Amino acid sequence: MLITYASHPDPLCPVLVGLFEDKSMTITEKETPYFEACRAFAKDRDLEEGMLIQVSESIVLMGMGKKPNTTEGWKKKGGKLCQKIWTRKPFNILMHAMDKQDLRALVYGAHLRAWRFDAYRTAARPMPPILCTEMTFVTHETLDHRPDAAIIESVHWARQLVNEPANHLTPPVFVQRLEELSALGITVEVLSTKELEKEGHGALLGVGQGSLHPPYLVALKWLGDAASKEAPLALVGKGVTFDSGGYSIKPASGMEDMKMDMTGAAVVGAVVKAMATRKEKVNVIGVVALVENMVSDRAQRPGDIVTSASGQTIEVLNTDAEGRLILADALHYAKTRFKPRMMVDIATLTGAIRVALGPVYAAVFSNQPEITEELIKAGKDVSELLWPMPLHPRYDESMNSDHADLKNIASPGFGGGSCTAAAFLHRFVGDTPWAHLDIANVDHLDRDTECCPKGGSAFGVQLLCRWILESLA
């Protein structure tokens, strides 16, 4: 979707005017004859939100409902606007009466919603064609949508990956998608099975050994401030392109959603992509572990003991607790290879977090309260909400194994599955300032919303971009 601004409408294109519940409009009296025609038409009519009415051959009036009083409310208005018009012919959308910040939020929401996953719908069952490939907002304000567009298009990029079926998005294909980012000036380093074996990434290799498709560890480097002597930020993402659970196999019901168990990796790639597109003067490293967790005669078994890249040995009591295993090696790699000033990992890590928080908040764990506060604030700003969760010595103790340095799940009945998973990851962080985002409860939607269709949501892209730009840039 192309978003443009203009100071005057294109005379060859019909105009769209918004009418609010209080009879105010998105244009002022100065925009005659549009204002007079719309006011006369709407005088004795109530337009429900989303309703489109033809005022004349060149003017369409749209019901906008009640005026929002929050940025998020205006974004939702924009998303609804997009849904109503993008399968219709293009309009000049008149917004002269809109406050600059409100308009920016509305346009942001419209662009955010202007994406759908339709790659596999054929002529046998086509989706409605998208006719409105460009939205032109007519305003007297001077606005530049390009910085917002860089983030939104990165969200769309991540949503596309997250919704891909696992037979199309295998670890090697994911690597190819990441390598394409080099066109933006991102340096892409790929560790294949041979390099992973050489460097002792036994935790990652163990998860991947049951699959036909080999595992990878990929580093994405955006050094927008190459002259800086400050250590970079490292983002680490879980990329399980399909999670059967391995021999600790998952129930059949809902297993199809496990194609989205690579959301963390997609989010990390999207954030680095956004920083590069915006040419931000920040140094950000993205590290993603890519693997497929399958059942085969070569697959990892419950009770196996693996040696992680850190040298710590791990008893694998549950092969479905695989995300923490690959993140263990990815966190160690990020810490030792790039020596970052801080690390943030993001992962669809535990089903337990849905029990704890439902589909509203994602969880944040951190060894630095300041990082927690900054991330929570960034999340509020973009409506990707985080709730602080505890790291406690008891959770750490629950990870001790009788036969290895640690085990990948706590003993039966201990509970606190999300907290013990975070405690496991903490063992591979050392003294590096670190936060862990568990997004397993918010990574996909079971229904359409104003700004995102049903399916993978790419939760975390906007949050982490806002955090970097507000706190670190």
- In 3D space, the residue among 292, 305, 437 whose CA is nearest the CA of residue 375 turns out to be 437
Number of H-type helices and E-type strands within the chain: 14, 19
Question: Would you call 324 a catalytic residue per the annotation?
Answer: yes
Describe the crossing of helices 263-277 and 171-179 by its angle, rounded to 10 degrees: 10
Amino acid letter, residue 341? R
Residue by residue, DSSP assigns 318-330 as -TT--HHHHHHHH
CA nearest to 391, candidates 424, 360, 415, 362? 424
Angle of CA points 107, 109, 111, to nearest 5° = 70
Q: Give the end-to-end CA distance of the chain in Å, rounded to a whole number.
A: 28
**Closest C-alpha among 70, 77, 88, 71 to residue 19:** 77
Tokens 């993008």 appear where? 86
C-alpha R_g of the chain = 24
Q: How far is CA 64 from CA 51, 58, 73, 107, in A?
A: 8, 19, 12, 14
Q: How distant is the alpha carbon of residue 379 from its chain centre?
A: 12
Residue of 75, 273, 324, 335 marked catalytic? 324
Active-site annotation holder among 84, 88, 177, 250: 250
Which is nearest to 354 in space by CA: 398, 412, 417? 417
Cβ 180 vs Cβ 157: under 8 Å: no
Q: What are phi and psi of 33, to 5 degrees?
A: -85, 0
Question: 113: which 2 tokens?
Answer: 């919603």
Q: Specify burial of residue 40 (Cβ count, 10 A radius: 0-12, 13-18, 19+).
A: exposed
What does DSSP assign to residue 126? P
Tokens describing residue 255: 């297993």
Q: Report in angstroms the alpha-carbon separations of 156 from 89, 288, 473.
A: 22, 19, 23
Helices 417-426 and 323-338, packing angle to 10 deg: 30
CA-CA distance, 294 to 292, in Å (whole number)?
6
Distance CA 5, CA 277 (A): 20
Phi and psi at 432, nearest 5°, equal -65, 130
- C-alpha neighbours within 13 Å on the C-beta side of residue 339: 3
Active site residue ranges: 250, 324
